Amino acid sequence: MSECNSNSNQSAPENNKDNKDSGRPKLKILAFHGYRQNGAVFRGKIGSFRKTVSKYAQLVFISAPHRVMNEEGAGDEDGRSWWFNAEDNTFSGKCLGGPALGFEETLKLIEKTVEEHGPFDGFMGFSQGACLVGLLAAMQQKGYLPYTFKFTIFASGFRSGSLVHKGFYDEEITLPSLHVYGESDSIIPKEMSESLINLFINPVVAEHSGGHYVACSGSIKEAYLDFLHERYQDLLDTRVEGEKRKS
């Protein structure tokens, strides 16, 4: 059985080395991996996404605090989870009514990461990481977080079925959001993603024909660029206003 509060192997956040300093500001995005991944694995899997958004954004990847115990025959990858929703310390997005073991440790890790490496303009997540970002957006809407972020990007997102999380979903979320999901996703079916989308007042939605991965081609690529262009303009406008106040 894995230790829910074990984070002894937690590594520091990793900046996206593809984002060289070009002398202009960039959006800073904290990226949350899926279940059984970690920050380094997730970074490696989304090379196309990183390349696409590098014009506008710098990505920072962190690993969840809880180690997933490998089943027989599994690889040696350091699989991680943001929380577990079954008593045997496993997680399934389709599990309804379960606990959220280790969620408090995850909240503490994120708070520490924001303190040490933030502030962050946006949060981006895939699968369980996207579920987490949805919870954080709902918590920010209610004023529960000690930090703030300005937008969210979801890939294969969904609502948490954990009982302790249900109360977070009782009001609409005003945060700008982009939701990307696969029509053929069998792990997180599109109905689950749509349930999360319905929480947001003005969501931007992009559907692709594939399955459970971070898509980044064709119209999906354009959706990322359009969404981040708007957020980038907001960043520049804010900086201009700040300079005007100083002068």
Instruction: For residue 127, indicate whether it is catalytic.
Output: yes
Q: Which of 63, 81, 127, 177 is catalytic?
A: 127
Instruction: For residue 212, indicate whether it is catalytic.
Output: yes
Residues in Cβ contact with 242 at an 8 Å cutoff, skipping those fewer than 6 apart: none
User: Burial, 130: exposed, middle or buried (Cβ in 10 Å; 0-12, 13-18, 19+)?
Assistant: buried
**CA separation, residue 139 to residues 60, 159, 162, 163, 221 (Å):** 21, 13, 15, 15, 29
Instruction: For residue 21, indicate whether it is catalytic.
Output: no
Residue 159 CA to residue 146 CA, distance in Å, equals 22
Q: Which of 179, 185, 193, 208 is catalytic?
A: 185
Catalytic residue numbers read: 127, 185, 212
